[in-house]
Structure 1
Amino acid sequence: MPAFNSTFVNAEAADSRVIGNLILLPIHTKFRGPAYPPQQEYDIIEETLDLFRANSFFKNFEIKSNSDRLLIYGILFVSDCLNKLSKTTNYKEAVRILNNLALDSFSLPGDVGFPLNALYQGASNKNESDLLRSYLQQFRQELADRLLTRIYKDDETSPSKHWLAFTKRRFMNKSL
């Protein structure tokens, strides 16, 4: 059985912007950045969170579209977020930890330290690089925020064991 790919293939035909081979899809967000709201309620962040647990079992992933690259980035970021949390972390501490992780400096596709340079192309100029960095920072902030909502849905004193069970799983044997 193959891994689950992104359903936002048709979004690539619309007016979404592509930098390198990473598409900047619209997202519902409360954080400041270049992303604009989508026409529908379901966005790439919801899809990432919905497919994370199923896709984290796979070591191989066939990329069928540029939106799959954004899905891969999101899944790897969720994995990093879960690795930062522990069973004893309460909601307020988890918010602080994941906000710091989302805002920490990170390497972009095409940079020397980026772990998936074989799958991603870098930005062609400084303006595209700045746009990509601000989009990915906004993407990471919103993804961390929605992940916390799901993990602490039942109890704010401890995270869900059903999410923390995936801390040992490594999607594609990679991490950001």
Structure 2
Amino acid sequence: MPAYHSTFLSEPDTRVVGNFAVLPLRTKFRGPAYPTAEDYDIIDEILDLFRANSFFRNFEIKGPADRTLIYGILFLSDCLSAISSKAGTVDRNEAGKVLNTLSLEHFSIPGDAGFPLNSLYAAPRDRAEAELLRGYLTQFRQELGSRLIARVYVDSDAAPSKYWLAFTRRRFMNKSLS
């Protein structure tokens, strides 16, 4: 059974930085992503496909939107690890603080020496593209963390869902962003 690919592969007029798709987001955070009126965006797709795709060790990249999907799945995995690594049970507010901190901390982008996926991603052409990508990824990470909290704490504000935290031990493509 093949892995699930992004439905945004066929999107016309997609901005691409390096070979990373800068897709529109339905977001409340400031950043360079175009706002979208659509009900379904790349963040929703990542949240929907995370659990199914986390079982795959190989993933055939069919376009820039798949690279955005891969980055999102790997960041979501890091978010779940951050929530579960806290001693005891983490309530919704504490998890929100942890994920917001994780989203805003300094991170490497494709082309940087510390970026773990440089073999899959092309570096931005110049400094302006690098700043655009860093701003987009910051906005992307904030929105993904915010929506993840809404899904992980859907049943109770006191404890995260064990069905989401069970995936902290799975490594998509045997890779991690951290």
What SS class does the counterpart of residue 85 from structure 1 fall into? helix
1:63-142 equivalence runs, <5 A? 63-86=61-84, 88-142=89-143
- Report deviation, 1:4: 0.3
Residues 56-115 of structure 1, C-alpha deviations (whole Å, 9 max, x = no match): 000000000110000000000000000011261111110110000000000001111111
| TM-score, with length taken from structure 1 | 0.97
Amino acid at match of 2:4: F
Corresponding position of 1:145: 146
What SS class does the counterpart of residue 97 from structure 2 fall into? helix
CA distance in 2, matches of 1:40, 1:32: 18
The one of 22, 38, 47 equivalent to 2:36 is 38
Runs of 4+ in 1 over 6 A off after TM superposition: none
Count the aligned residue pairs. 174
Residues 118-165 of structure 1, C-alpha deviations (whole Å, 9 max, x = no match): 100010100000000000000000000000000001100000000000
The one of 19, 23, 30 equivalent to 1:21 is 19
CA distance in 1, matches of 2:142, 2:3: 25
- Report deviation, 1:40: 2.0
In the alignment, structure 1 segments of 5+ residues that lack a partner are: none
Identity of aligned residues (%): 61
Amino acid at match of 1:123: P
Corresponding position of 2:161: 160
CA distance in 2, matches of 1:126, 1:139: 20
- Report deviation, 1:39: 4.4
In the alignment, structure 2 segments of 5+ residues that lack a partner are: none
CA distance in 2, matches of 1:130, 1:66: 18
Please provide the CA RMSD for this pair: 0.8
CA distance in 2, matches of 1:171, 1:110: 21
What SS class does the counterpart of residue 169 from structure 2 fall into? coil
| TM-score, with length taken from structure 2 | 0.96
